[in-house]
Amino acid sequence: MNLALFDFDGTITRKETFGAFVRFATPRFRRVLGAPFFAPLVAGYRLGLVSANEIRARVVHFGFRGLHADALKRAGRHFAQECLPAIVRPTALERIHWHRSRGDKVLVVSGALDAYLSPWCEQHGLELTCSRLHVENGLLTGRFQGAQCVSAEKCRRVRELCTPEDFSLVYAYGDTKEDLAMLAMAHKKFYRWQEMA
């Protein structure tokens, strides 16, 4: 049996989903209030002065703190049903089905949020490890539960679920520098759908 590791944003999808989901699920008044606050951070990110992790952490804190976790789960299910089908790459689904037809273990390993990835992966019969939001007493705290599932954390999460060395071949698919550590675990690596040497 082989192991296939898939990043989600930009790999299975044609574009990033984190920002789109934040806009979809965050109350309108918070989006309006947050726009001027986050503009300098976005500019800093584009200039390489602010990390993607930092922006995601601040967006989650501002957008979701104090919201009911059940409301976010409902928003995630709607987002998975209404928005994701239009941006999922048909070629990615074909590759996933190819792996499954061979009996491979397929694992989605993503920095995106479980609110919408869980229902999408359930629909497609895929295993998932991803970034999750912290909940206390049914409310979102505005923090991640543990580390964001990016870079070296992707490798740690994979090893929590299985031992890559137990598989005949490991395939990995990614599209950003946050996927490079995961790609390094694989015998066959695909970066932006091009096989790497």
Residues 42-63: tens digit of each pLDDT = 888 888 888 889 989 999 999 9
In the chain, the number of structural domains is 1
Q: Is the pLDDT of residue 36 over 90?
A: no
Which of 152, 118, 155 is CA-nearest to residue 133?
Answer: 118
The gap from C-alpha 5 to its chain's centroid, in whole angstroms, comes to 12
H/E segment holding residue 140: strand 139-144
Amino acid 38: pLDDT:
80
Residues 93-129: tens digit of each pLDDT = 999 999 999 999 999 999 999 999 999 999 999 999 9
Q: Is the pLDDT of residue 39 over 90?
A: no
| Residue 29 binned pLDDT confidence (cut-offs 50, 70, 90) | confident
Amino acid 48: pLDDT:
85
Cβ atoms of residues 133 and 63 within 8 Å: no
Residues 135-183: tens digit of each pLDDT = 999 999 999 999 999 999 999 999 999 999 999 999 999 999 999 999 9
H/E segment holding residue 51: none
| Residue 197 binned pLDDT confidence (cut-offs 50, 70, 90) | confident
Amino acid 40: pLDDT:
85
**Whole-structure pTM value:** 0.94
- Sequence-distant (≥ 6) Cβ neighbours of residue 181 within 8 angstroms: 151, 152, 154, 155
Cβ atoms of residues 105 and 2 within 8 Å: yes
Q: What is the CATH number of the domain that holds 110?
A: 3.40.50.1000
Cα(62)–Cα(55) distance, rounded to whole angstroms? 11
Domain residues for 23? 3-195
- The whole-chain average pLDDT of the chain stands at 95
Cα(183)–Cα(1) distance, rounded to whole angstroms? 18
